[in-house]
Every structure is written in C-alpha cells, then in structure tokens.
C-alpha cells in the first residue's frame, strides 16, 4: 500500500539555523511527492513537488530531492527565518491510490 | 484567480444535529476532495468527487456524505453529530482526478465544534 512517514516534532530552531525534516514513503507504482505547509488558522499550501526520481523541488529557499533508492523526500532549508514557523506535511500521490497520502505533520518553531 | 473557498469558517453545533459544509473550487478544477484534520489523527481523507461522481472514499461512517454539483462546487454533510466530529474540515481542489501529479489546492477550512 501507500503511506508516508515523517519526522516527529515539534522542532525548535534558532533563526538562521539549518533545517531538515525527514520524510520516507512506501508506494506501489511511481508516486509524485509533495511538501505542504500550514500556517496557523489556514489551510495547507503547496511548498514544492517532485514527480520522478532524482527530481529536486524547490521554493522559497526550501528544497527536497526525490530519492527512489532510499524512498525518501527530505525537506531542507539552509537558513530558517521566524516566518518559517508552521506545520510541514509530506505527501504522496499515486496512480494506484486514487488519493493523496499525508504524513502526520512536523511543527517547526523558529526563535529569534 | 480566486482560491478554494470554504464556508462557513466556523460552526458550533450540538450533538445529534446535522451540518452542511460548502466548498467552491478553483475555477476549472474538476476534482474536489475533503479531509478531516484533528490534533490526534492528522489529516484523514474523507472522499473525492470528480465530475459529480464520488471516486474514492476514506474510512469514515456513513454519517459523512458529500456531493458535487455540475459547476464543481461541493458540499459535505455530517448527520447525527458526535463530540468526536469536532475538527477542522479541509476541502481541496485539483485540476484532474487524484491519480496524477497535479497538486491539491486547499481552502482555509471550516472549524466545526460539537458540544
């Protein structure tokens, strides 16, 4: 079946620190992978995506590389800001699943 | 282009009542899916509609139902409300059905509180 496992939170970092949020997946077929971000009181927003192996998605300084050999899609940012404080969700979509599968979310707090 | 619009933003209902939530997708999007978000369970898939047909359903009781209209707008209904139905209900639209690489676009959700 299809599933996503992501790093438990919460994560607290100082401003300008390096961020990694781990995400691994199980999927039948060839999934597309996504990172979404949710700010307080809002819905989820697409942060980045990758649709095939070795693709790198990037947006607003965040990056994630689709690694088929390790079934991973880790989110990274070189220097976080206070405004990056939010909950981050890893997700996959597969032709075999007819739905999106989300991880449990990782809460990030960045302190000045 | 307007985003996904969900109404109302907040609802307070009593156990046993029923509730209807509304979702207007992005113009041109034909797939609408619904999710329940709670602190303990995360995002749980409810169902997806595409071209007025329910294509997939998550593991929720029959009290949860939905429909989609010809203009792609969707409604979700919960009957005989229980305390455990208190959650943020998120609607998402997509250009195509949920088997491709087209991303989901979410609304800001309806916060339902059951007392």
Question: What digits encode the pLDDT tens for the residues B33-62?
Answer: 999 999 878 899 999 999 999 998 999 999
Task: Identify whether the C-beta of residue A90 lies closer than 8 Å to the C-beta of residue A6.
Answer: yes
- Return the minimum-mean-pLDDT range out of A1-10, A17-26, A71-80: A1-10
From A16's Cα to the closest Cα of chain B, the distance in A is 28
Q: Residue A97: what pLDDT?
A: 66
pLDDT above 70 as % of chain A: 99
Of A61, A64, A58, residue with least CA distance to A92 = A64
Binary contact (A99, B101; C-beta < 8 A):
no
Per-residue pLDDT, B85: 97
Q: What is the pLDDT of residue B96?
A: 78
Q: Cβ contacts (< 8 Å) between A94 and chain B: which residues?
A: 99
Residue B100 has pLDDT above 80, yes or no: no
Question: In this complex, is the C-beta atom of B39 within 8 Å of any C-beta atom belonging to chain A?
Answer: no
Nearest CA in chain A to B32: A99
Per-residue confidence (pLDDT) for residue B99, from 0 to 100: 65
Task: With residue B96 as reference, give the H or E element that holds it.
Answer: none
Cβ contacts of B48 on chain A, cutoff 8 Å:
98-99
Residue B95 in contact with partner chain A when CB distance is under 8 A: no
pLDDT, chain A, mean: 93
**A36 contact residues in B (CB cutoff 8 A):** 104, 106
Q: Summarize the confidence of residues B19-25 as an average pLDDT.
A: 98
| B56 and A99 Cβ atoms separated by less than 8 Å | yes
* In the predicted structure, residue B105 carries a pLDDT above the cut 90: yes
d(CA A37, CA A44) in angstroms, rounded, equals 5
Q: What is the pLDDT of residues A39-56, one digit of tens each?
A: 998 999 999 999 999 999
Rg (CA), chain B: 13
- The string of pLDDT tens digits covering residues A85-94 is 999 999 998 8
Are B98 and A93 a contacting pair at CB < 8 A?
A: yes
**Mean pLDDT for chain B overall:** 93
Q: Which of A51, A94, A104 is the closest to B42 by Cβ?
A: A104
Beta carbons of B103 and A46 less than 8 Å apart: yes
Structure tokens at A57: 């998605």
Q: Which pLDDT band holds residue A74 (cuts at 50, 70, 90)?
A: very high
Q: Does B7 touch chain A (CB under 8 A)?
A: no
Contact A70, A24 (CB under 8 A): yes
Q: Which residues of B86-100 are buried (b: 16+ CB within 10 A; e: fewer)?
A: bbbbbbbbbeebbbe
Minimum CA–CA partner of B43 in chain A = A102
Q: What is the mean pLDDT of residues A16-36?
A: 94
Of A44, A49, A103, the CB nearest to B106: A44
């Amino acid at each position: 079946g299809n599933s996503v496992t992501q790093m438990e939170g919460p994560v607290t970092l100082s401003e300008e620190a390096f961020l990694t949020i781990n995400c691994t997946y199980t999927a039948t077929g060839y999934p597309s992978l996504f990172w979404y971000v949710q700010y307080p009181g809002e819905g989820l927003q697409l942060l980045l995506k990758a649709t095939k192996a070795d693709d790198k998605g990037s947006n607003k300084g965040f990056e994630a590389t689709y690694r088929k050999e390790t079934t991973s899609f880790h989110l990274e940012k070189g220097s976080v800001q206070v405004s990056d404080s939010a909950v981050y969700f890893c997700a996959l979509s597969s032709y075999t699943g007819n739905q999106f599968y989300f991880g449990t979310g990782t809460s990030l707090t960045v302190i000045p | 282009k307007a985003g996904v619009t969900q109404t109302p933003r907040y609802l307070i209902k009593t156990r046993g009542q029923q509730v209807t939530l509304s979702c207007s997708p992005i113009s041109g999007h034909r797939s609408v899916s619904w999710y329940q978000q709670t602190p303990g369970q995360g995002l749980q898939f409810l169902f997806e509609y595409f071209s007025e047909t329910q294509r997939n359903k998550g593991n929720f009781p029959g009290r949860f139902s939905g429909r989609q209209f010809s203009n792609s707008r969707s409604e979700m209904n919960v009957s005989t409300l229980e305390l455990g139905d208190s959650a943020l209900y998120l609607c998402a639209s997509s250009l195509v059905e949920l088997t491709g690489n087209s991303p989901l676009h979410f609304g800001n959700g309806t916060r339902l509180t059951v007392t």
